């Protein structure tokens, strides 16, 4: 059961900002013998973002690392913008709210580590995954029941769509 004040925050969301490692993935980074970086993404998380797109809610990535894999995944999910290499995530956040013409209270950010705190403290809906560090969970309005890389993002996407009354619009073709 989600508190009414949190539902009110969810109803205002027009932009979802995602961290990658620990949120869109389980946090593991694997290097091949050739130095290639591997990350594992949850397909249901990606489909949740697709559903948000169908409902007119854009998604953005802000990550401290730079990775070709993130660029490819962002393209596949039709992410509106991927900010990579931003250790100062607040700088990317400020750029994103100007670019997408949204107010901070219309933004949801989902993160898992200390580097995410400056953004989490400024958005309308701060979300953590359960595998987030304690300080991040303490600053979150909401903690998903599913972990990063294991459906936490999909859980959030579905919650946004259902709370805003956009679930049927985003999913109607699948129920015909």
Can you tell me the distance from the alpha carbon of 166 to that of 55, in angstroms, rounded to the nearest whole number? 6
Residue 36: band (very low, low, confident or very high) from pLDDT cuts 50, 70, 90: confident
pLDDT in tens, 118-149: 999 999 999 999 999 999 999 999 999 999 99
DSSP-based three-state secondary structure for 136: helix
Region 89-104 average pLDDT: 98
The pLDDT value given to residue 1: 81
Stretch (H or E) spanning 84: strand 81-84
Alpha helices in 28-151 (DSSP H): 43-54, 68-76, 89-99, 117-120, 134-139
pLDDT in tens, 22-32: 999 999 989 99
DSSP-based three-state secondary structure for 27: coil
Domains within the chain, CATH numbers bracketed: 4-174 (3.40.50.1000)
Contact 22, 112 (CB under 8 A): yes
């Amino acid at each position: 059961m989600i508190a009414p004040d949190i539902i009110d925050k969810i109803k205002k969301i027009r932009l979802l900002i995602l961290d990658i490692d620990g949120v869109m993935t389980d946090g593991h980074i694997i290097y091949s013998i050739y130095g290639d970086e591997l990350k594992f993404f949850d397909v249901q998380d990606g489909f949740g973002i697709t559903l948000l797109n169908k409902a007119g809610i854009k998604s953005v990535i802000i990550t401290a690392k730079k990775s070709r894999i993130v660029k490819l995944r962002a393209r596949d999910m039709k992410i509106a913008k991927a900010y990579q290499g931003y250790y100062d995530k607040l700088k990317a956040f400020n750029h994103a709210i100007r670019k997408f013409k949204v107010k901070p209270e219309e933004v949801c950010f989902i993160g898992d580590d200390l580097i995410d705190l400056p953004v989490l403290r400024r958005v309308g809906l701060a979300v953590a995954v359960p595998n987030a560090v304690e300080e991040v969970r303490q600053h979150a309005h909401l903690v998903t029941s599913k972990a990063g890389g294991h459906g936490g993002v999909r859980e959030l996407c579905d919650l946004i769509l259902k709370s805003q009354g956009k679930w049927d619009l985003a999913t109607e073709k699948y129920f015909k």
